[in-house]
């Protein structure tokens, strides 16, 4: 009997060790620890005034680009004690330069910490609404602004909800409605790490409107960037840890039905969609461990990936820009417009590149 107990204990220990070893190997694969990148540059220049990242960028059809800057995110470097800011850039100007947007209203700007952004245009009166994920004191909330003049945002509303506990990014679908990604299954970083280590796809996408709040889709390891197709039929979500872009179809009840996943081979952050072609552009992290273990002598690199024909049987995935971190560190977004490409980063600078 004693020998049987010992054998059973040895089998359990061996199985546990094998499981832990397997999960650690998967974790190394998720974080791309052994990946080498080859530099592939474009003709680019730095955007003025952007010194502490442009974590998210979105561009309207008329060439107006909104940028969120100064993000402070747990575990990542931050090189500024100042609150975050929002900028506007006119890409139709011969020499576009970011203009800091003034914010009016009751929002506490001393703790403003902007993350993902999205714009909604009301077709009735062509009013422009800017939705911003905000993390004051590392909380999770969504701010809604209206563009009042060319350099002024009026704060309209702050939205919080138990389902919006770890919001990363957002895509607006109405004046007060949106889909938002939760990049943590739990608000606790420790519990979130355990879900990643164990490979539990427990993150979700939440639909919010004043009338209804619900989980619209689930099954993500870590839901990050989100955007919408030009025809408003499909939602795209970056499952960043899984190295995939998921395609989901909108339903009348606001739920999202999974259609397919496209492998991208990198940890892609935000998603932007070309208004003309419907192509997807992502700012990605080719060696994310370097972000968390920051060394200025060996900085985290940047990567821009494009997906063409995502709804076809053979989507085309290609690298458009790669840097080893000596030009731009930790790219998080890539937004195209009429032959130009804006590349933003989590905590570094922003580039304006020529695609032609």
Q: Cite the active site residues.
A: 115
Q: Is 53 left (phi over 0), alpha (psi -120 to 50) or beta?
A: left
Q: CA of 286: how far to CAs of 35, 176, 283, in Å?
A: 7, 35, 10
* Strand, helix or coil for residue 334: strand
Token pair 């994310």: residue:
288
**Which H helix or E strand runs over 120?**
strand 114-122
Tokens of 240: 């960043």
For residue 262, count CB atoms less than 10 angstroms from its CB and return exposed for 0-12, middle for 13-18, buried for 19 or more: middle
Asked if 67 and 350 count as a contact pair (C-beta separation under 8 A), the reply is yes
Tokens of 108: 């506490």
**Which H helix or E strand runs over 21?**
helix 2-30
Token pair 């004690």: residue:
81
């Amino acid at each position: 009997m004693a020998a049987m107990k010992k054998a059973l204990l040895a089998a359990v220990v061996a199985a546990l060790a094998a499981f832990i070893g397997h999960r650690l190997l998967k974790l190394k694969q998720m974080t791309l620890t052994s990946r080498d990148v080859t530099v592939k540059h474009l003709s680019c220049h730095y955007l003025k005034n952007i010194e502490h990242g442009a974590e998210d960028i979105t561009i309207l059809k008329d060439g107006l680009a909104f940028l969120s800057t100064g993000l402070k995110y747990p575990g990542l470097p931050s090189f500024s004690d100042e609150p975050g800011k929002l900028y506007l850039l006119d890409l139709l100007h011969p020499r576009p330069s970011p203009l800091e947007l003034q914010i009016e209203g009751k929002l506490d700007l001393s703790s403003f910490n902007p993350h993902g952004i999205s714009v909604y245009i009301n077709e009735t009166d062509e009013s422009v609404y800017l939705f911003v994920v905000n993390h004051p004191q590392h909380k999770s909330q969504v701010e809604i602004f209206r563009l009042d003049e060319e350099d002024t945002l009026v704060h309209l509303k702050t939205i919080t909800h138990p389902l919006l506990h770890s919001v990363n990014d957002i895509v607006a679908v109405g004046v007060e409605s949106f889909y938002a990604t939760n990049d943590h299954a739990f608000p606790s970083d420790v519990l979130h790490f355990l879900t990643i280590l164990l490979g539990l796809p427990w993150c979700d996408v939440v639909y919010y409107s004043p009338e209804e709040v619900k989980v619209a889709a689930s099954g993500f390891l870590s839901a990050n960037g989100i955007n919408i197709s030009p025809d408003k039929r499909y939602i795209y979500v970056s499952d960043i840890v899984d190295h995939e872009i998921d395609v989901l179809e909108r339903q009348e009840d606001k739920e999202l039905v999974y259609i397919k996943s496209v492998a991208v081979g990198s940890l892609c952050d935000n998603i932007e969609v070309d208004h003309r072609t419907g192509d997807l552009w992502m700012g990605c992290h080719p060696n994310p461990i370097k972000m968390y273990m920051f060394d200025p002598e060996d900085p985290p690199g940047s990567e821009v990936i494009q997906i063409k024909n995502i709804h076809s049987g053979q989507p085309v995935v290609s690298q458009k820009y790669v840097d080893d971190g000596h030009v731009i560190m930790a790219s998080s977004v890539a937004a195209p417009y009429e032959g130009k490409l804006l590349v933003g980063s989590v905590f570094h600078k922003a580039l304006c590149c020529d695609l032609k």
